[in-house]
Amino acid sequence: MNKLITYFLYPVLLSLNIGFIGAALVLSWELKYAFIWISGFNAIVLLIVEFVFPLKQEWKMTKKSFVRDLKWMSVTILSINAVKFFFAFIAIALSRENKGLFRDSSFIIESVAIAVIFEFGQYWYHRISHEGKGWIGKWLWSIHVAHHLPDRVYLLMHPVLHPINTIVIQVIIQGTFLLLGCRPESIFIFNVLLGLHELFSHFNVNIKAGPLNYIFIGTELHRFHHSANLDEAKNYGTFLSLWDIVFGTFVYRSESIPEKLGVPEPENYPNSSQLIAVMSLPFTKLGNNSEL
């Protein structure tokens, strides 16, 4: 069973999501609700699998980390993600009247354009947040570090994000939609695939995606991004590997996993469960300017 999960769960679930997208478009389902249904299905399936087949026991969710996650969920999901969904729905509605650059192309071509352009902006924001020099780089790191303070990566820790970080990503996403004048069908395709890979990226299960790693950012690649070893803490893409490959930050080691997750010197930062202290970092002077 473990090998079936390792080698087949990701391609099977990816195929199911693509099939669901096709059905939703062909059968003219209400896209807002179709997105909610498939997102819920993906989350439930992966939560069950992660509980039964964890890659490392020490990376599993604990009662303490779950309480921490609930705090961050209250900030990220109930507030920022509420704004995210609101603007996603508005973008879908407004796009029906918007004459976009790819209006005469297929939904697939437009969806690929959304992904490539969004990932370019997101990639450089993400990379500068880690590697940027001067006060801008340090300030962006003080925002982004919230996501790297946890020393374990699993599904429900994904919402451990500073609100400013989430807002910036949403600006990039919505800006891409606005720039391209995207149709609702293309936005739907993009959101479904983005959401699936955001879940897989923080998945404490032994997943081997093989050649698909050269297309999508998933479990293997993003786990290295959370490594406390700066030499391998790369892979800045959200769900496409394209720009990491182009700009030389692609790290893929199929036979190994990071020895340690988190930040190199955690003693220089608040504990990830200290929500107010972590959220205050961009507005206070960090005791250490190390970058990850």
pLDDT band at 192; cut points 50, 70, 90: very high
Note the pLDDT tens digit of each residue in 78-130: 656 656 666 666 666 665 666 667 777 889 999 999 999 999 999 999 999 99
**Range name among 28-42, 65-79, 108-122, 147-161 with the lowest pLDDT average:** 65-79
**pLDDT attached to residue 290:** 44
Asked whether the beta carbons of 292 and 230 are under 8 A apart, the reply is yes
Q: What is the pLDDT of residues 7-28, one digit of tens each?
A: 999 999 999 999 999 999 999 9
Decide: 223 and 151 in contact? Cβ < 8 Å: no
Give the residue from 17, 50, 66 showing the smallest Cα distance to 192.
17
Asked if pLDDT for residue 289 goes beyond 50, the answer is no
- The Cα 192–Cα 170 span in angstroms is 15
Distance of CA 6 to the CA centre of its chain: 20
Supply the pTM of this predicted model.
Answer: 0.89
The DSSP letter of residue 62 is -
| Widest pairwise Cα distance in the chain | 56
| Spatial CB neighbours of 166, under 8 Å, sequence gap ≥ 6 | 76, 80, 81, 84
- Interatomic CA distance for residues 67 and 54, integer angstroms: 20
